[in-house]
Amino acid sequence: MAIHPIEFRYGTEEMREIWETDNKLQKMLEVEAALAEAEADLDIIPKNAALEIKSKASTKFVTSKRVSEIEAETNHDIASIVKALAEVCNDGAGEYVHFGATSNDIIDTSQALLFKETLKVLKTRLTELTKIVLRLADENKTNVCIGRTHGQHALPTTYGMKFAIWADELHRQLNRLDECEERLCVGMVTGAVGTTAALGKEGLDIHKKVSKILDLKPVMISSQVIQRDAHAEFIMDLANIASTLEKMALEVRNLQRTEINELGESFDPSKQVGSSTMPHKMNPITAERICGISRVVRAYVAPALQNNPLWHERDLTNSSCERIILPESCMLTDYMIKLSIRLFSNLVFKPENIEKNLNLSNGLIMAERVMAELTRKGMGKQTAYSLVRKCSLEAYDLDTGLKQVIESNDEIKAYLSSSDIELIMDPHTYIGSSVEMVNEVLVASKNWF
């Protein structure tokens, strides 16, 4: 019976296939095979034995069921895999399985293979999302809307700016994954406490050769484990991605609020139900799910950092923790990216509400522009600020438009004509260099992928 929501509700098939039991076992068997191959190349074990080990290092021969049966007796997962592989090898080849290695050589190196597969999926999906957001930036670079600071109407901006800012951030997240991969996806066969002593004078060569066979970079130096700073970095990168996705989803949720209603998730009223009791509800459930799951991924940063300081050359406190946080953080981050792809591929814009909200303050959002234009015309900046602030407060008190107040102000009329004021008060013409900045992001993005 399924218990964890990852098993039936959250996650993608691509990421489940990477972290499911048989694939994890297969990767460990591949490390054992690479170890035997490297040792045979250096005449440490017979070549026929290495070929036999390699031919049987597959879940077709070494099943998860058999490994579990052995582990029930040995209470040691890697020793159980070694025994299960050894018992299916013919002609005495099983005697040479795992020679010179320690458990974490197999665990950490096989995890590096899982990380490589994981990063490929994450980067592919994150690239797809970035391209969607770039398209939205291009389509909306002149779509003027109200910008808000502290939840209050501030100045005009554009939806193109919102999307371009997010696209630029997503690109940085892709860069972080690339940078992390070099440090995270490393191989290790250095034996107990990391000295390669059991492998003799060929130890360092075997360590490097195994990584080469597996298309990994060998770790330069280790104790009995690959140091967990890189693992912590990876989890922090996933948490950072989660925070970006939550930022984007949170903005959609806010903009979908009834009293704002500028854009929102697509909703199929012929099939979809928003509430079990309120027939009218159309809720931002995809965006809310992204925000909720983001909290879980970010929560894994603390244990990931705590996994780095271990006793002496190693202890087991990281092991049980990583069995939980590594697959879950990878699966949940991937799922959030997929949800974000769905969300931003199907956004519904409400142009009439965008325009209504842009003008909701009755011109008060143009106060900065009035001040700036007065300064350009020769009034001191501080004087202009005080004057426009006084006019703004009057507009608030009278519940009238700022334009009406400034048109009746003699000090302002001495500097600005009626035609000047008409132009100044148009929010669609006060978006600064926003179009140019969005275009710069779009041009730069041609070199991103």
Considering only CA atoms, which of 16, 19, 12 is closest in space to residue 322?
A: 19
pLDDT band at 277 (very low <50, low <70, confident <90, very high): low
Place of tokens 């992001």: 441
Helix axes 47-56, 21-41, angle to 10 degrees: 170
Return the DSSP state at 313.
Answer: T
Neighbours of 14 (CB within 10 A): 17
CA-based nearest residue to 85, from 102, 66, 107, 106: 66
Give the pLDDT score at 276: 59
C-alpha distances out from residue 331 to 14, 110, 270, 303, 390, Å? 9, 18, 31, 17, 55
Residue 98 bears catalytic tag: no
Give the Cα separation of 9 and 111 in Å (integer): 25
Percent of the chain with pLDDT over 70: 99
Interval 66-100: pLDDT, tens: 999 999 999 999 999 999 999 999 999 999 999 99
Q: What pLDDT is attached to residue 281?
A: 66
Choosing from 68, 275, 345, 386, which is the catalytic residue? 275
Mean pLDDT of 143-158: 97
Rounded distance between C-alpha atoms, residue 305 and residue 234, angstroms: 10
Give just the sign of the alpha carbon dihedral 157, 163, 167, 172: positive
* Residue 434 known to be catalytic: no
Span 88-116, average pLDDT: 97
Question: Which H/E stretch holds residue 217?
Answer: strand 217-218
Tell me what the mean pLDDT of segment 19-38 comes to: 98
Mean per-residue pLDDT for 137-151? Answer: 97
CA distance 385 to 370: 9
pLDDT of residue 267: 72
Alpha helices in 399-446 (DSSP H): 402-407, 410-413, 418-424, 434-445
3 state SS of 157 = strand
Q: State how far the alpha carbon of 24 is from the alpha carbons of 80, 114, 327, in Å.
A: 14, 7, 11
147 secondary structure, DSSP code: E
Catalogue all structural domains in the chain, each as residue range(s) with its CATH number: 17-96 (1.10.275.10), 103-261+281-357 (1.20.200.10), 362-445 (1.10.40.30)
Helix (H) or strand (E) holding 407: helix 402-407
pLDDT of residue 429: 97
